[in-house]
Amino acid sequence: MIVAARAILRKDLLIELRTKESVPAMTLFTLTVYVLFHFGLDRDSLDGELASGVLWVTLLLAAVIGVSRLFAAEREQGGIEGLLLAPVDRTALFVAKAASLFVMLVMVELVALPAFGLLLLGPGLGGALPELVAILALANLGVAAVGALVAALAAETRARELIVPLLLLPLLVPLLIACAQASEPFLRQDQGPEDLGRWLGLLTLYDVVFVLLSVAVFDYLLED
């Protein structure tokens, strides 16, 4: 399973590196939304709950783009058939697709987070970076698991551009709540942890539930 998962992941990243489709689009979307908030809210800087909400809603909406494109090469170039004809455990496909989305989210965040700090954030990110990175890592894992599941569900449907956000965003609500609540204290002027452990625990629980759920149902998603 590991060999197949690595082969699929390597192939996905190579195609993304050459086509430059998903990551640049997600990054550009994120930056554009931050600029829109900057002018739309007519404020030089944000902090606390508002900053946390803007940060996470934007990142999760950007993830929709990545999820919509996650099976694009398989769908458009017969990759799914190639995988179904090979003696590959479907769990390997799930792991590879989730890992691929995880890597893409990290690449977007490497640009989006500093941009958020520059364009919108009052207090600055420096002091709270380790905690924010931990929250981002758990969030990315959850988005990757749910995203791979939703992408596979939508892969063979005609209205996949509609189905992905309609399925994905409601499933991400618990993750959004936990991320926004966990990040909020670190985005205030008087930075300090408040119930961080509780929210990280909720994020971990979310990740575990959706990884297990995805592994359990992934076998049936690509069936005729």
Partner 1 sequence: MAAIELDGLERRYGERVALAGVSVRVKEGQTLAVLGGNGAGKTTLLRVLAGLLRPHGGRARVLGAELPDERWKLPGSIGYLGHEPLLYRELSGRENLAYHARLHGVAPARVDALLDAVGMAQRAGDPVRELSRGMVQRLAVARAVLHEPALLLLDEPRANLDPAAAERLEPLIGRASGRTRVLVSHDVEGTMAESDVILRLKRGRPAAEDEELYR
Task: Report residue 212 as tokens.
Answer: 């297990």
Mask 23-62, x = binds partner 1 (CB under 8 A)? Answer: ----------------------------------------
Task: Report residue 40 as tokens.
Answer: 């739309």
221 contributes a contact to partner 1 by CB under 8 A: no
User: Of 58-66, 82-90, 161-169, 190-198, which part binds partner 1 (CB under 8 A)?
Assistant: 82-90
* Residue 121, SS3 per DSSP: strand
Q: Are 183 and 56 in contact (CB under 8 A)?
A: yes
CB of 81 to partner 1, least distance (A): 6
Please identify which residue in 86, 205, 208, 213 interacts with partner 1, judged by CB under 8 A: 86
Q: Please give the helix or strand (H or E) that residue 109 lies within, else none.
A: helix 90-119
- The residue whose two tokens read 């190579």 is 14
CA separation for the pair 119, 116 (Å, rounded):
5
CA separation for the pair 206, 11 (Å, rounded):
28
Please identify which residue in 1, 36, 41, 84 interacts with partner 1, judged by CB under 8 A: 84
Q: Point out which residues bind partner 1 (CB under 8 A).
A: 3-4, 6-8, 10-11, 14-15, 18-19, 73, 77-79, 81-88, 223-224
